[in-house]
Structure 1
């Protein structure tokens, strides 16, 4: 018996994979920036927040250009060895593009770049799996920061609560999270309700390149000794 065509699934949305053309655009953009700007920095980041990074990029857009994405693509763009680097000693920069990293090409002075990166911090609510930076414990008694209609939701998060004359009440002490331990989905939701921002988004400078003889390491980490 022939298969019915009535139940055939049809995909209405189409997605285009980022292929070779997209990679070439990034490579060409990086190489153009290497000609336009006087210095290059590698940075790494913690607790990435796109909105915070966007604010920082907009602050520097008149003097600098940021690149984040595939480390391998960025390495290809500037050269992975002394034989294929686009400028002398850029292979040293390439070797430091590891993990959560990016590059900034800029005409700002070294002192100004260091000041901007050192001063930049963004705070946000920690996500599930993030490491708690402190112990948060709620004591038995009224929880006046929560409205009465939130009581069912709080119970679903594992909190021992009840309504007492329209007031949410904790019937026993409750530990939301322990310092140094990963946050559960429930802990993450409770901290958000409490307005407790545990995630700090930072950008840390790793190295600076200014010319063939102007290369500086900011972070001495595992594997940095092989930057030759």
Structure 2
């Protein structure tokens, strides 16, 4: 029996894997930058959103080169043993590559880099799995969204979504309205997907995106200096976004 020529459903949810050539090209780029710059920094991000890393890239575009991609590929580019390392001492940094980390190459002095990243922070929306950094309560009355200043009433077409997420709203003159106050979350407790979505819809940014510098490799000496990890109350701690390496 001949094979059917009817159209087949093709899933668009799968992401194509990087080819061997693409991985090799990225390794080559990393190694070229090892040769070019005085310092290599290993940094870590929490619940990262691409927009924030793009901001960092933009602000450092004239004085640094940033990579954020597959950790195994970056580690292999550096070399994970003294015999394989691309430059003296850098294998010690390769062994620290775990989780959501990236590399930044620059000629800026360490004091300048650490001071800049200590000051850099971006308010953001919490995600499911984050711990609430503060208790958030919606007062009785119109449900407001805090995406602008001053806040504005939630549009009428959002009312079905609000009810789906657990709010007992009713329409009052075209505005979703609460008859009694509703607590979205308690400080210190893990957020559910519904709670995180409610915080986002109402414009409540409860976490702060930061870049944590983990270590620095010095091309002149081959030394790798580790930096202490400083936890702050409103740091993002988990996430699953993939950022493309530049």
1:214 has 2:223 as partner: yes
Q: 1:12 to 1:33 in 2, by over 3 A?
A: same
Q: Structure 1 stretch 2-11 or stretch 194-203: which is displaced more? A: 2-11
Q: 1:109, 1:170 → 2: CA distance?
A: 54
Q: Structure 1 stretch 122-131 or stretch 143-152: which is displaced more? A: 143-152
Q: 1:213, 1:85 → 2: CA distance?
A: 11
| Corresponding residue number in structure 1 for 2:95 | 95
Q: 1:12, 1:213 → 2: CA distance?
A: 48
Task: Look up the SS of the partner of 2:210 in the other structure.
Answer: strand
1:176 has 2:176 as partner: no
Aligned pair partner of 1:202 in 210, 219, 223: 210
| Corresponding residue number in structure 2 for 1:225 | none
Q: 2:229, 2:137 → 1: CA distance?
A: 37
Q: 1:21 to 1:179 in 2, by over 3 A?
A: same
| Corresponding residue number in structure 1 for 2:163 | 155
Deviation at 1:141, TM superposition (A): 4.2
1:192 has 2:194 as partner: no
Q: Structure 1 stretch 16-25 or stretch 166-175: which is displaced more? A: 166-175
Work out whether residues 47 and 200 of structure 1, in 8 Å CA contact, stay in contact via their aligned partners in 2: no
Work out whether residues 47 and 202 of structure 1, in 8 Å CA contact, stay in contact via their aligned partners in 2: no
TM-score by length of 2: 0.79
| Corresponding residue number in structure 2 for 1:52 | 52
Q: 1:15 to 1:150 in 2, by over 3 A?
A: closer
Deviation at 1:213, TM superposition (A): 5.0
Aligned length: 220
Q: 1:6, 1:57 → 2: CA distance?
A: 48
**Which residues of 2 match residues 70-81 of structure 1 at below 5 A?**
70-81=70-81
How far does the alpha carbon of each residue in 1:52-101 deviate from its partner, in whole angstroms, 9 at most, with x for none?
11111121122211111111111111110111112111111111111111
Q: Which has the larger radius of gyration?
A: 1
How far does the alpha carbon of each residue in 1:92-144 deviate from its partner, in whole angstroms, 9 at most, with x for none?
11111111111111111111111221111122222333322111122344546
Q: 1:26 to 1:142 in 2, by over 3 A?
A: closer
Work out whether residues 78 and 90 of structure 1, in 8 Å CA contact, stay in contact via their aligned partners in 2: yes
Work out whether residues 142 and 154 of structure 2, in 8 Å CA contact, stay in contact via their aligned partners in 1: no
Q: Structure 1 stretch 165-174 or stretch 121-130: which is displaced more? A: 165-174
Q: 1:147 to 1:63 in 2, by over 3 A?
A: closer
Deviation at 1:170, TM superposition (A): 1.9
Q: CA RMSD in A?
A: 2.6
| Corresponding residue number in structure 2 for 1:224 | none
Deviation at 1:149, TM superposition (A): 4.8
Work out whether residues 46 and 200 of structure 1, in 8 Å CA contact, stay in contact via their aligned partners in 2: no
Q: 1:116, 1:38 → 2: CA distance?
A: 18
Task: Look up the SS of the partner of 2:195 in the other structure.
Answer: helix
Deviation at 1:153, TM superposition (A): 3.0
Deviation at 1:20, TM superposition (A): 0.9
Work out whether residues 137 and 176 of structure 1, in 8 Å CA contact, stay in contact via their aligned partners in 2: yes
